[in-house]
Amino acid sequence: MPIRTTALPCGEAVPVFGLGTWTMGERGGSFADETAALRLGLDLGATLIDTAEMYADAELVVGEAIKGRRDGLFIVSKVLPSNASRTGTVAACERSLKRLGTDRIDLYLLHWRGGVPLAETVEAFEALKAAGKIRHWGVSNFDTGDMQELSALPAGRNCQSNQVLYNLSRRGIEFDLLPWSRERSMPVMAYSPIEQGALAQDSAIGTVAARHGATPAQIALAWVMREDGVIAIPKAVRPQHVRQNIAAAEISLTQDDLAALDRDFAPPARKRPLEMI
């Protein structure tokens, strides 16, 4: 079945499930397996791929995986804050385009805040968009105050997404950042939705998983995607995990399931600083 979609503020539909690539390309002997995993994901209908210039040679893995099938895909990449000056952002984007083997990036993110003024990075993003090098831009690891500052800039409202750490054990954004984003119809991209595999071993999640004939990892992913406006981007290299991750997008959790998970992973009762890994 086609993967469910959500809408960016501009109105474009994007899948609520994507293929993560964090640490791909860092071990030379894994290149073929990583490329095959991404191609399997594409074959199964997962058309969104998330990568970044920071992830060593992950962009090269993505570039190999998408050869001959670029059209119809939604490629996300990121610029390091150390490169996020007016000229540095443009140069970094050109390098990413070369590694990816494409003429455009669908969503280009500032990986996290650094010393470069936001206004300067936004100007560079707008210039890249005008040149056709990127189609949309956004940010990553921005807390609510950061987003408010960004939205106050002349072109700040062109931000299309914020990618942050979000999973059952990291629910802080539910107190303020997630509601703020939803009020503006801006999807949040959830990285590390299985907490780097830790949630796949949780017994409480396992109890819910047993009711669905699923794995704990699948339930953790289904939970992240339970409501509109959140995109999960797990990484998987083993074919079995790729298939299981994509199948998680079809799992519908019941109110009893959600209540049980809330008992073991309580939602935030107050503002928490944005977590990052």
* pLDDT tens digit sequence for 134-172: 999 999 999 999 999 999 999 999 999 999 999 999 999
Tokens of 203: 């017994």
Using a pLDDT cut of 70, give the percent of the chain over it: 100
The answer, yes or no, to whether residue 267 has pLDDT greater than 80, is yes
Catalytic residue among 55, 108, 166, 191: 55
In terms of pTM, does the model score above 0.85? yes
Whether 55 sits among the annotated catalytic residues: the reply is yes
Structure letter (DSSP) for residue 229: T
Binding residues: 111
* Best CA proximity match to 37, nearest among 55, 58, 15: 58
* In 8-157, beta strands by DSSP E: 13-15, 19-20, 48-50, 74-79, 105-110, 134-140
Inter-CA distances, 130 with 123, 124, 186, 252, Å = 11, 10, 21, 40
DSSP 3-state of 13? strand
pLDDT digits (tens, 9 = 90+) for 196-211: 999 999 999 999 999 9
DSSP 3-state of 148? helix
Compute how many other C-beta atoms are within 10 angstroms of the C-beta atom of residue 59: 29
Structure letter (DSSP) for residue 16: S
The whole-angstrom separation of Cα 127 and Cα 11 is 21
The whole-angstrom separation of Cα 217 and Cα 62 is 24
Mean pLDDT rounded to a whole number for the chain = 96
* Best CA proximity match to 10, nearest among 136, 133, 117, 99: 136
Give the model's confidence band at 55: pLDDT under 50 very low, under 70 low, under 90 confident, else very high.
Answer: confident
Looking at the DSSP bridge assignments, the partners of residue 109 are 78, 138
Q: What are phi and psi of 272, to 5 degrees?
A: -125, 145
- CATH superfamily, domain 13-264, is NADP-dependent oxidoreductase domain (3.20.20.100)
Binding residues for substrate: 111
The whole-angstrom separation of Cα 273 and Cα 139 is 17
Quickly tell me which residue has 């809330």 as its tokens.
262
246 within 8 A of 231, measured Cβ to Cβ = no
